A and B are shown apart, each in its own frame.
Chain A
């Protein structure tokens, strides 16, 4: 009798095996898959690289060519979505893509290169154009005078103005 019950139950349930590699699979809501940087939106503010626990996202400056590189290596990513939380422009997002298996290590990289601003005084690159414009909108108009100076040159300039500037006044 017990075996008969088992057979009837097995028939009533039917086949449960998915035909996965031959049929596409739907992932559930809120699944955290492959992180993708939208290069048009990214401003190179380095918030994501500060938040990334395994440093799969690294941001470094190439001072010779004046380029800021946002380098994502998915092979080290732990899919915690902290980068998505901190991104101010919603440039980085975790998609539902999970089919990431590759035959080569090289295919797991995503690189975004952003142009940097050179300082007017010393010629050293210090920030990206996009980040500068993003922050300049927030500033008061009279504070934009020293926008194209690197932090060291700006400090010098401010002190010069305080000492030699006629009428004084804070800038």
Chain B
């Protein structure tokens, strides 16, 4: 998507500061991301990408929308942490709208803005390397590993055999009562 340097505007949209500290970690000499051309900028107007770290609280929603609109097209959204991805541990509280997905719904309804390319980075907080990996996906350096997995159970003969064995054991004991059929008084009269 972005072949050249990615300039990122980092916006705390109501998070707990855990993810923000991890964001700062990737600019230290150990994980020096400036070698990949990534740079934090002070204004959204200079940025290619905007990084959300929080579940987007109601209080900061107008500011988030304003910063979001200020980033020029084409842009990338980095949803850092579980809160930005799907609401995190605050997904159903009244003060929170619940992640970037809900933010896109509001933007489409109110302003008619189509959702941009988004990279979801789950983690609480995500490892600094996980963020570098996400940027690698945006730059096309690495391939995506995570995929949706669906498993549907099919009943095999083993379970049926197990059930029969369990019932046979039960029948062998003297406590097992024969089946009792309950009849009302009218039914018994009809029979006789």
Residues in B with CB closer than 8 Å to A130 are 153, 159
Out of A76, A106, A108, name the residue touching B88 (CB < 8 Å).
A76
Q: In the complex, A100→B148 CA distance in Å?
A: 12
B172 within 8 A of A: yes
Residue A169 is within 8 A (CB to CB) of chain B in the complex: yes
A160 and B180 contacting across the interface, CB-CB below 8 Å: yes
The answer to whether A101 touches B134, judged by C-beta atoms less than 8 angstroms apart, is yes
Report the Cα distance A107→B30, complex, angstroms. 30
How far apart sit A77 and B99, CA to CA, in the bound complex (Å)? 13
B111 within 8 A of A: no
Chain A residues 63 to 110 lying within 8 A of chain B, measured CB to CB, are: 73-79, 97-110
What band does the interface of chain A fall in when counting residues whose beta carbon is under 8 Å from B? 35 or more
Contact of A144 among B121, B149, B170 (CB under 8 A): B170
Question: Which of B151, B155, B167, B182 has its CB near the most chain A CB atoms (within 10 A)?
Answer: B151
Answer yes or no: B176 CB below 8 A from chain A CBs. yes
Whether a CB of chain B sits under 8 angstroms from the CB of A18 is yes
Q: Does A151 contact B (CB under 8 A)?
A: no
User: Chain B nearest CB: distance from A102 CB in Å?
Assistant: 5
Query: A153 within 8 Å of B by Cβ?
Result: no
**B146 touches which one: A18, A55, A102 (CB < 8 A)?**
A102
Q: Check if B169 is an interface residue, CB within 8 A of chain A.
A: yes
Tell me which residues from 72 to 101 in chain B have a Cβ below 8 Å from any Cβ of chain A: 82, 85-89, 91, 99, 101
Q: Is A133's CB within 8 Å of the partner chain B?
A: yes
Partner of B122, one of A25, A74, A133: A74
Residues of chain B within 8 A (CB-CB) of A142 are 170, 173, 175-176
Indicate whether B59 reaches chain A with its CB closer than 8 angstroms. Answer: no
Q: Check if A106 sits within 8 Å of B130, measured CB to CB.
A: no
10 A-B pairs with the lowest CB-CB distances in the bound complex, closest first? A142-B175, A101-B134, A75-B86, A39-B151, A75-B85, A78-B124, A76-B86, A54-B89, A144-B170, A21-B136
Pairs across A and B, CB under 8 Å, 28 listed: A16-B29, A17-B29, A17-B32, A18-B129, A20-B132, A22-B141, A27-B127, A53-B89, A73-B86, A75-B85, A75-B120, A77-B122, A98-B127, A99-B142, A100-B130, A102-B120, A103-B144, A105-B118, A106-B148, A108-B148, A111-B148, A111-B150, A113-B153, A130-B159, A133-B166, A136-B166, A145-B170, A171-B175
Besides A76-B86, A79-B123, A110-B149, 18 other CB < 8 A contacts?
A: A16-B29, A21-B136, A39-B151, A39-B153, A54-B89, A74-B146, A76-B91, A77-B82, A77-B124, A79-B124, A99-B130, A99-B145, A103-B137, A105-B86, A141-B176, A142-B173, A142-B176, A144-B166
